[in-house]
Amino acid sequence: MLNRRLFIASAAAALASGCVSTRQPVPQPAGPTYKGRRISPEYLQMYRAMPEERFPIPAVDLTKIDPGYYRRMVDYSSPEAIGTIIVDTPNRYLYLTMENGKAMRYGVGIGRAGFEWGGRARIQYKKEWPTWTPPAEMIAREPELEKYRNGMPPGLDNPLGARALYIFEGGRDTLYRLHGTSEYWSIGKAVSSGCVRMLHQDVIDLYNRVPNGTPIVVRQA
């Protein structure tokens, strides 16, 4: 009888103190998420604001971008030489080949112009915060661009963004570029215009990794 009384008293105390529960609260992820999945602090740092730039770059809203397109080191087997840029147009990725079967992979957006050219070429030169000059045929299609015939000043609204890498084939300008964009929603997608676009933070990272003369391969299939 004494043991039974002790058991009842202990159970009542446990219930009173909240120690006994039939349902535990579901832990909620801390910080921003993408479709319920927590975004790693590593990526928040990677895509941080860059106030040190000539035109301060805001942080990327990673909750709006599929994590599959975040910059990362991946296993990548390729016959291309180390230090080659490979644009996988159908899958919206850009790879920079590295040692030991690795590559730095970036998510990209592909514009209409990006589907028109494929093959092998080189990065003839690079520019920080470049001026954008629309081709004459583009101005003919979009007369409102006439005011930029002699060039649009650099800035976040400039279509080339924070950095541009200029693609030449056989010493001739192909008019295709790897460039930055503020339109984060376009990463991983085919958009109406432009060449190969990258998040500002990503194009700056690529710009710092590759020299002039870097080989580039653009694959259309």
Q: Two tokens at 149?
A: 């015939």
d(CA 70, CA 202): 9
> Out of 39, 86, 187, 195, which one is annotated catalytic?
195
Catalytic (active site) residue 179: yes
Q: Which helix (H) or strand (E) holds 10?
A: helix 2-17
Indicate the DSSP class of residue 198.
Answer: E
> Out of 179, 196, 204, 210, which one is annotated catalytic?
179
Phi and psi angles of residue 139, each rounded to the nearest 5 degrees, phi first: -65, -35
Count Cβ atoms within 10 A of the Cβ of residue 65 and give its class: 0-12 exposed, 13-18 middle, 19 or more buried: buried
Catalytic (active site) residue 200: no
Measure Cα distances from 93 to 102, 106, 148, 192 in Å.
15, 6, 30, 18
Q: Which residues are catalytic?
A: 179, 195
